[in-house]
Chains A and B, each alone.
Chain A
Amino acid sequence: MKNKAIVSKKVGKDLSEKTVSAIAYVYMFLFSLLALLPILHVASKGVSSGEFVTAGLVRFFPRGFQLETLKFIILGTGFLPAMKNTILITGIGTAISMVTTILTAYPLSKSEFRGRKVILFLYVFSMIFYGGMIPAYMVMRTLGILDSIWACILPFAIIQFNMFIVKNYFEALPSEIEESAKVDGAGDLRILVSIILPMSTPVISTVGLLYAINYWNNYFHAMMYTISESMRTLQVYLYNLINTSSEVAMNLASGDGMTNLTSAGLVAAAVSISVLPILVAYPFVQKFLVKGMTVGSVKG
């Protein structure tokens, strides 16, 4: 963004720019507050004492700070294997999906590509029609990948919507670079990898994040296609916890003290844990969103 800064210094910020800037700062501040307060509320509930949580007396900061609830979830026997599975699935899955998506989006982004309309329509059609859980399950079974991480990865090897986002991005790139590379004799694959991709870091990081979120959050497939306890994913583990939280609390209650393992507390802690890794990953994605067009920019 060096060019822009120089230009700005020369021309100076006019009123409209200042207004929009001010609006942007205030708007984002309010919006963030609106989003942040409930987040703090949930996070606080996960580490507050049981009696305050059950009574709904936790506002935005922990009251009666305790780590028992978190410890119960993390040290619980199902947690680490589930975490390991989810990390594997997210890592491998995102990699596979990105390759598939980019490879598909590139040809389809060329307006003169023959067969483009047909294939794009196929993708749209597949987004709309869904055959149901039973045949999907049977496909998994026939392929022999039930009860493995592949059953949780392969159905998402390409998500049509994400492919459209990448395709739109490729379409918006200026065509001169590509043409000059072609004149120099470069093949399609080489152009894609050496020229297009470096210019596409914003969309790659965004869509990569979208895929990662999808794999990380997926509950339904993981629930349906896994059988053994060792193949549980994080979301399944947490979802089960949330749904049985009152029974868990009842079975563990002993003595006459107030337990910190309450239904509401367990749910809040479980949700906070599942959100945390995505929260941490985002700043890394951030970096790529800014670099963007400056890499390999076109000047003449």
Chain B
Amino acid sequence: MIILIACTVFAKGASEASATGEKKTGTKNALLGPGNVTIKSVYQNVTFDPNTDLMAGLIEKSTGYKAEYFTLPAQNADEKLALEVASGVNYDIIRCSRSQFNMLLASNALMPLNDLLDEYGQDIIAGHTQETWDAVSDKNKVIYGIPYKYAADKEVASFIVCRKDLMKKAGITEMPITLDEFYNTLVTLKKYYGNQYIILTGPYLPATEKNENWKFPKVIASAFGIWGEWMTDENGKVIYMTEAKGFKPMLEFMNKLYNEGLLDPDWAVSTNDSVAEKFSSGKAIMACSSRTGCTTMSPAVIKNVGITYDDLSYISPLEGKDGTCTYMMTEAISSISVIPKSCKHPADVINWCHLKLQDQLYLNFGIEGTHFTYDADGNMTPNNPLFANERGNSYWYCNAMDMAKYQKDWPARIRKSEAQWQCWKGTTIATVNSRDHVFVDNPFKFMTAQENYSKFNSALHTSLNDFVVQVICGSKTVDGINMLEKDLAANNLNQVRAELQAYLGAK
């Protein structure tokens, strides 16, 4: 007890450094224990007050630590975080996005975690693969954050939802699997219904954290061999989407659809809400969507038009000529929990995360029998609505997880909403079961922070997407690709490419 107090006093004195001060070893690793310290934890913004939510109480009871929670705003989060960390606001643990992590890492503001994890977080280390840990370390294998992976390694995150009942009326009995079948389906629908319905509306930009949002359907891009903005060709060379063989043909295909009236004429103006409106009111036969979108679109259209879930079908990644079908795996690190250098009790922070991990089944899913049950195959089924009410917000509080265990039970969170479960079944499960080969591994999924990539990739992404939309809607032609490539080069495309190539080479 006396030693503990002495350590506390010593630790307090030793940590008078400013936000980017020197790292002090030894004293910082002393564990103060639950009840002696309040953990200050910050993550992205959310509507409920994380301090008064049910989960906060459960976590405090389970770990014994008091915690104070803060949130970053919905917009300008990066700037605010930078300002606060640079001016020395006292956070103990920050759960940040990849870009925030890169920013904090580059500014030398983070505490290395190797020793702390060895001493207090053995289960945390075991919760992820070595590859995942490398992604949050620097060149010398010094770990700077605890990763949190997106819960599904293979998901068809962006797909097309269709009104099977309207398609049946037009004489279409099978859902299209190849691009040609898809085109014929659209043409048939147009011929049958004329201007009565919008054939395909979009784009829908999913709110899921990890993937880059494209303003054109990924399930169509798959048919042209386009699975990412940065891809590798057969020789392992890093290419940008504009250099892919299938890029021009894809643009021409989409433009053809637009000109023949098969796409929503407001493709360039669409927002998620407007796409949802058109599908939910029954105005559109097909809509680009995602899990988030279907959560409200599906029940809404069912109620408004008077159909059932059996009348909804989904289009998964389409196959192109000679069977080309590529869809990127969604395995990625979605957030990283870091400890800033100014934290005065990092050992307790790690301990807190460790305790939460050990209790993760209870904290994230609840009690067997009350909140969920296991079916015959060992799959978790939630008990609605108790599951959503009492564990719905648990995702916000996760820092360290035994990822393998979590991923196994995670589909229960999808199961709590019938709409989500239906589209999950119709797209992800169907594709995994019958066409698993379409999933392409993302070679950059665990890439460490790269300077030019962090700086310029978002601007490149915006230019690319804007160009595709302009070609689709006809305000630019496919030949405009030369101008686009010039713009991209001016925005450091080649420097980013060099970094990515070097990363692959060093792997």
Report A-B touching, CB under 8 Å.
yes
The answer to whether B213 has its CB under 8 Å from any CB of chain A is no
**The one of A51, A223, A237, A249 that contacts B304, using a Cβ cutoff of 8 Å:** A51
In the complex, chain A residues whose CB is within 8 Å of the CB of B304:
51-52, 55, 57
Tell me how far the C-beta of B19 lies from the nearest C-beta in chain A, rounded to whole angstroms. 12
CB within 8 Å for A249 and B393 given contacts A55-B301, A77-B53, A223-B80:
no
CB within 8 Å for A250 and B75 given contacts A55-B300, A224-B80:
no
A56 touches B277 (CB 8 A): yes
Residues of A62-113 whose CB lies within 8 A of B: 76-78, 81
In the complex, chain B residues whose CB is within 8 Å of the CB of A78:
47-49
**The one of A81, A243, A251 that contacts B395, using a Cβ cutoff of 8 Å:** A251
Residues of A233-280 whose CB lies within 8 A of B: 236-237, 239-244, 246-259, 262-264
B80 touches A241 (CB 8 A): no
In the complex, chain B residues whose CB is within 8 Å of the CB of A228:
68, 70
Residue on A with the closest CB to B394?
A251
B281 touches A57 (CB 8 A): yes
A254 touches B300 (CB 8 A): no
In the complex, chain B residues whose CB is within 8 Å of the CB of A223:
73, 76, 80
The answer to whether B303 has its CB under 8 Å from any CB of chain A is yes
Residues of B352-406 whose CB lies within 8 A of A: 382, 384-385, 387-389, 392-393, 395
- Chain B 38-80, CB-CB to A under 8 Å as 1, else 0, gives 0000000111111111000000000000001111011110011
- Chain A 190-233, CB-CB to B under 8 Å as 1, else 0, gives 00000000000000000000000000000000011001111000
In the complex, chain B residues whose CB is within 8 Å of the CB of A229:
49-51, 69-71
The answer to whether B420 has its CB under 8 Å from any CB of chain A is yes
The answer to whether A46 has its CB under 8 Å from any CB of chain B is no
Residue on B with the closest CB to A270?
B47
In the bound complex, what is the Cα–Cα distance between A240 and B280 (angstroms)? 25
**The one of A54, A247, A249, A259 that contacts B277, using a Cβ cutoff of 8 Å:** A54
A253 touches B295 (CB 8 A): yes
**The one of A227, A242, A256, A259 that contacts B84, using a Cβ cutoff of 8 Å:** A227
The answer to whether B238 has its CB under 8 Å from any CB of chain A is no
Q: Is the interface of A mostly helix, strand, loop or mixed?
A: helix
Residue on A with the closest CB to B280?
A55
Residue on B with the closest CB to A73?
B47
In the complex, chain A residues whose CB is within 8 Å of the CB of B76:
223-224
Residues of B281-329 whose CB lies within 8 A of A: 281-282, 291-292, 295-297, 299-304, 309
B292 touches A246 (CB 8 A): yes
A55 touches B207 (CB 8 A): no
B277 touches A240 (CB 8 A): no
In the complex, chain B residues whose CB is within 8 Å of the CB of A255:
384-385, 416-418
CB within 8 Å for A54 and B297 given contacts A77-B52, A240-B45, A247-B292:
yes
Most buried by A among B273, B291, B393, B420: B273
The answer to whether B454 has its CB under 8 Å from any CB of chain A is no
In the bound complex, what is the Cα–Cα distance between A137 and B418 (angstroms)? 46
In the complex, chain B residues whose CB is within 8 Å of the CB of A240:
45-47, 71, 73-74
Chain A's interface size range is 35 or more
A51 touches B299 (CB 8 A): yes
Tell me how far the C-beta of A226 lies from the nearest C-beta in chain B, rounded to whole angstroms. 9
In the bound complex, what is the Cα–Cα distance between A54 and B284 (angstroms)? 13
- Chain B 263-277, CB-CB to A under 8 Å as 1, else 0, gives 000000000111011
Residue on B with the closest CB to A49?
B303
The answer to whether B83 has its CB under 8 Å from any CB of chain A is yes
In the bound complex, what is the Cα–Cα distance between A15 and B300 (angstroms)? 58
Residue on B with the closest CB to A57?
B281
In the bound complex, what is the Cα–Cα distance between A190 and B387 (angstroms)? 68
In the complex, chain A residues whose CB is within 8 Å of the CB of B281:
55-57
A258 touches B49 (CB 8 A): no
The answer to whether B450 has its CB under 8 Å from any CB of chain A is no
In the complex, chain B residues whose CB is within 8 Å of the CB of A54:
276-277, 280, 296-297, 300
The answer to whether B89 has its CB under 8 Å from any CB of chain A is yes
Tell me how far the C-beta of B51 lies from the nearest C-beta in chain A, rounded to whole angstroms. 6
The answer to whether A1 has its CB under 8 Å from any CB of chain B is no
In the complex, chain B residues whose CB is within 8 Å of the CB of A76:
47-48
Residue on B with the closest CB to A264?
B273
In the complex, chain A residues whose CB is within 8 Å of the CB of B53:
77
List 21 contacting pairs A-B, 8 Å CB cutoff, sorted by A: A54-B276, A55-B277, A77-B49, A78-B48, A223-B73, A223-B76, A229-B50, A236-B73, A240-B45, A240-B46, A240-B74, A244-B46, A247-B46, A250-B292, A253-B420, A254-B387, A254-B388, A254-B417, A257-B299, A259-B295, A264-B273
Please list the 8 inter-chain residue pairs (A to B) with the smallest Cβ-Cβ separation, ordered nearest first: A256-B418, A243-B74, A55-B281, A254-B388, A56-B277, A55-B280, A258-B299, A253-B417
